[in-house]
Amino acid sequence: MRIGIIGYQGSFEEHYLQLKRAFDKLSLNGEIVQIKIPKDLKEIDGVIIPGGESTTIGLVAKRLGVLDDLKDKISSGLPVLGTCAGAIMLAKEVSDAKVGKTSQPLIGTMDINIIRNYYGRQRESFEANVDLSKIGMGRARFVFIRAPAITKTFGRAKSLAELNGITVLAQEDGMLATTFHPELSDTTVIHEYFLHIVKG
């Protein structure tokens, strides 16, 4: 199994380490590769779009020719885990809590509406326990940093976990979006769940 991680900014190393741990826990043979240019997308079985600044990630991916190829692959069924900014990249509908509608480069393949900076800026970052019983994983504590909110799921997308009535984990087929940072947690449950999706 070969998993790619978009490597422009965000928590590449942290995702890498969590994936390694998840591979070990599930007794899977896995390879992890960094994705920066289109040829890096070849022969991967799944991809992670980490946190960071979603507009920057989108602009760099577009400039380097990765954005359209990635969109095509995901549309064709490539499993993807988008965390925080990565979740924003996947959403079909994006707005900002302060400035409203945004016009940023997106992958836009997932039937979710996201509001960026929903909880506020950096100083409003927090930790919270999330109930993952819908995916059979119990409760886990996660970090929310300048977190967005999934305010609507429609079409084929479904909410898998909520915090105070707001969706923080959603799935549509092979697409998984989290508004928190699972790579900064003590638990690998989200990465394990994603690997189960990739395995099919």
Does 54 show up as a binding residue in the annotation? yes
* Residue of 147, 133, 157 whose CA lies nearest to 182: 147
Q: Which of the 8 DSSP states describes residue 90? A: H
Check if 183 is active-site: yes
Q: Which of the 8 DSSP states describes residue 10? A: S
Does 2 show up as a binding residue in the annotation? no
23, amino acid identity? F
Does 46 show up as a binding residue in the annotation? no
Does 63 show up as a binding residue in the annotation? no
Q: Using DSSP, state whether 18 is helix, strand or coil.
A: helix
Query: In terms of residues, how long is the chain?
Result: 200
Check if 84 is active-site: yes
Tokens 């079409």 correspond to what residue? Answer: 155
Does 14 show up as a binding residue in the annotation? no
For residue 46, list its beta bridge partners.
Answer: 3
* Catalytic residue, candidates 14, 172, 181, 191: 181
Q: Encoding tokens for residue 23?
A: 């591979």
* Catalytic residue, candidates 172, 183, 191, 192: 183
Does 53 show up as a binding residue in the annotation? yes
* Catalytic residue, candidates 84, 172, 191, 192: 84
Binding residues for L-glutamine: 52-54, 116, 145-146
Active site (catalytic) residues: 84, 181, 183
Binding residues: 52-54, 116, 145-146
